[in-house]
Each structure stands twice: as C-alpha cells, then as structure tokens.
Amino acid sequence: MKRFVPAVAAAALLALSAPAFAADDTAVTDAEAGAMVDEIDAAAGSPDEAAAAEDDGNGPYRQAYDKASKALAEAYPDLPPDEVERITLYILGNTVNTLFHEYGHGLVSELELPIVGKEEDAVDNLANIIMVAKTSDPALDSMLRAVADDYFANGAFSEENGDSTAAWDEHSPDKARAYDVICTLVGADPDSYKEAADNAGMPPERQEACAGEYESRLNAWDKLLTPYYLKEGESNKKVTVTYAKPGPDEAVVGDMIKRSGIMQVVTDEITQMVKLPHDISASVETCGEENAYWSPDERKLTLCYEIVQSYYNNATMQTPEP
C-alpha cells in the first residue's frame, strides 16, 4: 500500500535533511540565482546516513531528471552543466507540483471529497505534502524549493507590472503560495529548513505554527483519502497518458517533458496511492495559454506546453550574468 503518510513518518523526515544532490550540494547552490533560491538552498542540511540508506539516488524523479537534463543539454550544447541542472530542476519541480495540484482537483471531483475552504489552497497543500513526503528521492527535494522560487518570481513580476493576483481570484496570491511551500518544508522538518524560512523573512512564531499546520493538513488529507487507498494487490482503473506534438516555440521543453516521462511518474504516484472509480486520461498539449487543468466531465488532466515554457522562461530570467 502506497500512502504518503508512512513515508512522511519514516523516510521523508530523514531525507529532508539530505543535500539536494547526493554528493554535491554546492553545485546547485552556486548556480542558482535569485536571492530566494540561494537563501533556501543554503539551508539544505548535511548528508544523512539514514536517508542515504533509504534512497539509492536513482528514484523515479532522479531518473526523470537525468533524461530531461540530457534533452536540455542536447538542445543547448553551450549551456554550462550547472545551468542545465538548475534549469531542469526548476522546470521539472514546477511541472511535478502543477501535476499533483491538478490531480488533487481530479481526486476531489472523482471521489467527491468534501473540502472546507478554498479548493485551490487544499490541492496546493496536497501537492506540497506529497512532494515533501517523497523527498527520499533527493531530486524532489531540490524540485520543491524551485516551486517556491517560481511563485516568488511570478509574485515579483506581477508587482513590477502592477498586476498582482486579484483579491477575488480563486487562487491565493503567488507570494502567499510561495510561503505555503516554505511553510510545508519548515513544518515538516524545522531543523533542516529553519534557516531557509528565516532568510525568506518568515517570523519564528509563524514557523512554529507551520509545524502544527503541516500536521493538520497531512492528517486531513490522510483522513479524506483513507477510504480510497489502493489495497495490496488491488488493480486500478486505466490511466492513459499522451503527448501531443508541441508547437515550435515549446519544442525544447516539450522534448524534455516527453523524454523525462515525468507525467507518467506523477500519474503512477496517484494510481499507486488511490483507487480511482473511473478510467481517466492525462495529456500534454498546446493550449494557447499558460495553464494546466482538470476537466471533470472528460475526466482528463491537461498540462499545457505553454505553462512548462513559462517555467523555462522564469528559470532563465534568473540566470546570473557570467
């Protein structure tokens, strides 16, 4: 039975203190620009033997990373290796978080889960909790920090352009979503992420509250999903994953996404965790907008190439001058 809760209790909390990438955590830190990225990464702790024993460094996210970074390096042979790594982690991390968010909407509608409060916040929390729980795959640890970065980047960009998230929007403002990611990290593992939260300007009393909030959100999702956890040996409904041909503007990120198999990795997490009541499908397509969504009537998750391209654009916008 594959739930995210035992993973949190056992492996993930230990793994959170592992460095971003097995032997070399400075490569990520040095390469990453933007104060927030550096500050958050500086808090990645020292190697943890228990975590290292838990993960052989070749989990599904690491494998997806290897394939995606290869695709990026082939497309841009002059890109320095540390930039390839940084950009790939950024793109995959945000893609993974978005996919879990949309599958969250899918679970809410398919299982008719009761949600108190904004559904957007609830599924953000699910995505962050799952990603924290799975950080025994070290690649995912770096990816989750990139998610906070992207919300900060979008928040800063919106402020500069005077078009911050409207108060009536169904989503919380980008900066609040960034702090939600940090709150999940520091809530799950205060020792490893205190410095990151300090550097991001989160007051100590808020950090302490995050631990309680993390527990509460984790327990809430666990309680909601418990009746639906896939049992040992039980088969699930069918999920069809397809990749449409990307447009010329998104050819490189399209190649990265397809070759990485990240859509399948995230889909497998969901289908190994929860028994679905119906067949569903997931597709990467050109949509004409930067978006990703769950379509309840079609029972379909759509990830738009354009939103993946926006992650690439945000990642490269932060590239430091050589």
Q: Which residues bind Zn ion (CB under 5 A)?
A: 120
Q: What is the distance between the alpha carbons of residues 224 and 181, in angstroms, rounded to a whole number?
A: 21
Nearer Cβ to Zn ion (171/237): 171
Residue 256 contacts residue 68 (beta carbons within 8 Å) = yes
- Kindly give the interhelix angle for 174-188 and 138-160, rounded to the nearest 10 degrees: 150
Q: What is the distance between the alpha carbons of residues 96 and 88, in angstroms, rounded to a whole number?
A: 12
Residue 132 gets the label, from left (phi > 0), alpha (psi -120 to 50) or beta, of alpha
CB of 292 to Zn ion, least distance (A): 8
Nearer Cβ to Zn ion (52/176): 176
Residue holding tokens 């916040």? 121
Nearer Cβ to Zn ion (120/222): 120
Nearer Cβ to Zn ion (82/120): 120
Nearer Cβ to Zn ion (172/319): 172
CB of 269 to Zn ion, least distance (A): 18
Q: Which two tokens stand for residue 54?
A: 């838990």
Q: What is the distance between the alpha carbons of residues 197 and 209, in angstroms, rounded to a whole number?
A: 12
Nearer Cβ to Zn ion (120/285): 120
| Nearest CA among 20, 320, 23 for reference residue 196 | 20
CB of 105 to Zn ion, least distance (A): 5
Nearer Cβ to Zn ion (120/213): 120
CB of 293 to Zn ion, least distance (A): 7
DSSP per residue, 230-254:
PPTT-----EEEEEPPPPGGGHHHH
Residue 68 contacts residue 259 (beta carbons within 8 Å) = yes
Strands (E), 208-299: 239-243, 280-285, 292-295
Nearer Cβ to Zn ion (177/259): 177
| Nearest CA among 253, 37, 263, 12 for reference residue 140 | 12
Cα 128 from chain centroid?
7
CB of 81 to Zn ion, least distance (A): 34
Nearer Cβ to Zn ion (172/264): 172
Element (H, E) at 2: none
Residue 106 contacts residue 278 (beta carbons within 8 Å) = no
Neighbours of 72 (CB within 10 A): 23
CB of 167 to Zn ion, least distance (A): 18
Residue 193 contacts residue 185 (beta carbons within 8 Å) = yes
CB of 113 to Zn ion, least distance (A): 14
CB of 110 to Zn ion, least distance (A): 15
CB of 41 to Zn ion, least distance (A): 27
